[in-house]
Structures are given as structure tokens and as C-alpha cells.
Structure 1
Amino acid sequence: MNRRNYKGYLLDLDGTVYRGGTVIPEAVSFIRTLKEKRIPYLYVTNNSSLTPEQLTERLQNMGVEASPEDFFTSSMAVAAIIRQMARESETEKNVTVLAIGETGLKTALAEAGYEIVEKAPASYVVVGIDRQFTYEKMKQATLAIYNGARFLSTNCDRAIPTEEGFVPGNGALTASIAYATQTEPIYVGKPEETIIRLALEKLGLRADEALLIGDNLETDIAAGAKSGVDTLLVYSGFSQEVDVEHAAVKPTYTAHTLADWKII
């Protein structure tokens, strides 16, 4: 199956390339073919907790050839958006960020040159998944936003699957601060178009030249639709055929596995 010759690919990770700690064999073959044909691609992920180096190690441990340049995370996207916002407001030299999150988020912000603070005041409040989230962190973020900080969040996932079952995602943490401040955050990860637009810029491609591949109708496919990017839903993860029948936003293509998609 392939109805178009795409110049580049945007790939989701969990549910598309691997499930939990297990690689999906068809994805390995697909990625190998992309490399052999020298077709550019990026892994576009809402995972804000890990750095590209950590994600590289994860894939390599699963037997997938990867390098840090292959990844574009929601943490990288939020750092880029802060740069755009600071440039527009002419405050680039004095940016402070109150960051609630883990290594991936704080590393992306630090590498972008921002001063990271733990207490209000701050220029920006950014929320990513934080498994050490506390009332004190929520309080400081609330104080900063009431004091004029811009409010951003890496992604709006309500819950995330784990071996224990579904646990609170970053959307749940963000919602607590949004409720306390009566302020809606700017989300940058999927299903928003922001992360897709930035990933396309990194690849040097237009929206009509790329295909976004993912397993989730609510995040991957919705992000593609908002961005004007064709989408391929693979039934290797979250969403299944029955879900497509009732979906408000449908994928351009569907496949049981990536083995069904032939790269021209």
C-alpha cells in the first residue's frame, strides 16, 4: 500500500515503533528502509521527560539504529515557542522559566539558553510530566502566572498507560494550575499543530510533502489534520479499526502494520 511518494516522514514512538519496552518488528524494517533510501524522518513525541540522547539509548537497546538528531520532543518544541514569543515581545535577553518537569524538559530549556527558576516570579511557566509533582510546585507556578508569567504546557495527555494501568498524564498536572489561575495554557505537543509545524521546519519540508504515522486518533491523527499533513494510522497501538468508524477526524490511510506501507 502506498498512494503517494512522500519526501519525508514524521513518526510517533510508543505504539508505533515500540509497545512499552518491546520493539515492533515491522517498524524496525520500515525505519531501515527509510535509511537505505535516504528519506528524511523524525520521531515526533509528546514525551517531555527524556532527552534525545536518552531516547536514542532506548531505541538502540531495542535494536533500532538511532541518533539524537532523529528526535523532536515536546520539550524541544516548547523551548522553540518560548524563543518565538520572547523575540516578538523583545524580551529575549531576560527570559526566566519556572519549569515543572523532568530531565528532558529542563535540558531542552537550558540548551536554549534560558534561566530556569524554581520560584516565582518568572517570564514563563512551563509544565511537563513530573512524577515528583508537589503542592509547592503548583503554588509557585500559580504565583508566577498571577504575576504575569506566560503559561505553556508540553502536552495535554490526561492519562498515560503503564504496567499498573492508566496513571495521570501531564494534562492532569497542567489542569490543576489552569484551574487555580483561571488561565488556559498554550499546549505545544500533539494534537496541536505547533509541534508538527516545527518538526517540518527542521526537516525542511512543506506539509504536503510529509506523512505523519501514528497509532492514536486523538493525538497523532488529529495533529496531522490540524497541520494539513497526510496521516497513516497503524493498528499496532492505541486506536483500532472500530475507533476509526466513529472518529470525527479520520486518517488519510490505515494499515495493520508498517509492513503494509510500501516506501517508493
Structure 2
Amino acid sequence: MEHKDYKCYLIDLDGTIYRGSDTIESGVRFIHRLQEKNIPHLFLTNNSTRTPQMVVDKLRGHGVNTDIYHVYTPVLATESYLLSQNPDATKIPIYIIGQIGLVQGLLKNERFYYDDRNPKYVVVGMDTDLTYHKIRVATRAIRNGATFIGTNADKNLPSGDELLPGNGALCTMIEVATGVKPTYIGKPSSIIVASALKMLNAQGQDAILVGDNYDTDIMAGINCNIDSLLTLTGVTNKEQLKEKDKKPTYIVENLDEWKL
């Protein structure tokens, strides 16, 4: 397949490199080729439940050896976003709904502290232990003026043959209760993509976004005017693409078809 030369790659994980616990061999070979040619890249995930080290460990289990400096999560992008919004604040009170990746990721920065009484921000990430109490605290805080942040808008998460409720579904519950829409950080938001490009010290025209999900990966590219490569190894299939007005820049059956 003919295409322009890209200086850096932003690469999705689930559906692109692995599918749950199954390895997508073509995706792994694609990463090995990038590494052999020393082409700059970041793994750009919407998963807020894992720390970067947990992502590195999972990738190792699928045959990809990398490090935390090649992993960019919505937690890192949320941290960067909140700090950019509060350049002069020494302490920023936040209420967090989420799992270890989000809680540990934000609170390791000493400028943030957990506050369930009067937070400036309510940050909501995927939480499989969600309770009514957590929703109530978040709703009260947002009604009292806290800014509502969602790590990502994924309404569903594929798990085997099942589609599980995703973080977008959790955020929608709070949105309905408060009448306030969250600011989403992860794909397809331009916030995480701009932040990742900054990490790579790259311009949009030099980058390409690679993934399997039209609504997150490809739309992130479209929203940021960045070229996109859809691999048909995960969520989106050719039939679904026919209904879309805006198309990916490139489509491959799998990433073995993509020449570097």
C-alpha cells in the first residue's frame, strides 16, 4: 500500500495489538518493525484502570518489549490537562471515581489531593466497583460547581463475546443527574492526542493514528486533522464503515499490509 512517510505513530492497544487475552500477531509484528527502524511511537490507550507499568507488563505477555515512556494513557493526559488549567495552584482538590490506574496516577502528583467534600474537579474513570454513594458524592460536587472530567467516553468495552458498560455509560449517569456534560480527555478528544504529540515533540502532519475502533481511534485522528489507519482486527468492520461520512485515511485487513 502506497502512503506518505510518517515520522511517528500513535497506536491503539486493544483490538490492534491484542484482543483481551488473545494476541494479534500482525499487530505485534508491526511494533517489532517500528522498533527495528527506531521510528518514534506511543501506545495511546483509553484504558484508565491500568498504570503505565501494568500496560508494559501486559504488552510483554503478548511479545512486545517496551517501557513506560512509550505508553500514554488518559490518566497522564488528565494530569497534564488539569495542571495546564491551574498553572499557579499549589494544591488542587479532586474527587476521583476510578481504579488504581487513575487514583494512583493522579495522587502521586503532590499538587493533587483527594477531597470528597468540596473538590474543584470530579474526575470519572472506569470503575467496576461503582457504588451509588460514589455517584451521589460526584453529583453533589458537580452541582456545587466542581468541573466534571471524564477520562474517556467509551460507552462499551468488548470482553469476549460481550459488550460491557464502559466509562461513557458511567459518566452519562452523572450527566443525567447533574445536567452537566463532562469534558472528555481520551480518544476521540483532541486533548489526549495533542498531549501525546507534545510528548513526542511532533507536529500533526508528521503523525498517524493507528487503531481498530472508528468511534475512538479514527475519530480522534479526524478531530485533530491527523491521518488515520484503521486495522480490521478489532471493533469496526467494513459494513460499519459504509455508514460513515468521514473515512479513515487508510484501511488494512491487518497491520502486516502496512509497509514501513
Show the counterpart of 1:100: 97
One-letter code aligned to 1:105: L
Distance in 2, matches of 1:9 and 1:115, equals 31
Q: Please, what is the CA RMSD of the aligned residues?
A: 1.2
Judge conservation of contact 2:93–2:115 (CA < 8 Å) in 1: no
Moved more, 197-206 or 235-244: 235-244
Judge conservation of contact 2:94–2:116 (CA < 8 Å) in 1: no
Judge conservation of contact 1:118–1:140 (CA < 8 Å) in 2: no
One-letter code aligned to 2:22: T
Determine what percentage of the aligned residue pairs are the same residue.
38
Show the counterpart of 2:166: 169
1:100 CA displacement: 0.4
What is the CA deviation profile of residues 108-146 of structure 1, one whole-angstrom value per residue up to 9, with x for unaligned ones?
212333434252210110000001111110111111112
1:205 CA displacement: 0.5
Q: Are 1:37 and 2:37 counterparts?
A: yes
Moved more, 127-136 or 140-149: 140-149
One-letter code aligned to 2:62: M
What is the CA deviation profile of residues 203-228 of structure 1, one whole-angstrom value per residue up to 9, with x for unaligned ones?
01000000100001111000000111
Number of aligned residue pairs: 260
Residues 66-145 of structure 1 aligned to structure 2 (within 5 Å): 66-87=66-87, 90=88, 92-117=89-114, 119-145=116-142
Distance in 2, matches of 1:167 and 1:28, equals 26
Judge conservation of contact 1:120–1:141 (CA < 8 Å) in 2: no
Judge conservation of contact 2:90–2:111 (CA < 8 Å) in 1: no
What is the CA deviation profile of residues 10-36 of structure 1, one whole-angstrom value per residue up to 9, with x for unaligned ones?
000000011111111111111111111
Q: TM-score, normalised by structure 2?
A: 0.97
Moved beyond 3 Å, runs of 4+: none
One-letter code aligned to 1:235: L
Show the counterpart of 2:193: 196
Show the counterpart of 2:238: 241
Q: 2:209 aligns with which of 200, 209, 212?
A: 212
What is the CA deviation profile of residues 238-263 of structure 1, one whole-angstrom value per residue up to 9, with x for unaligned ones?
11112222212210000011110000
Distance in 2, matches of 1:113 and 1:45, equals 24
| Gapped regions of structure 1 (runs ≥ 5) | none
Show the counterpart of 1:51: 51
Show the counterpart of 1:28: 28
User: What is the DSSP-based 3-state SS (H/G/I as helix, E as strand, rest coil) of the residue aligned with 2:216?
Assistant: helix
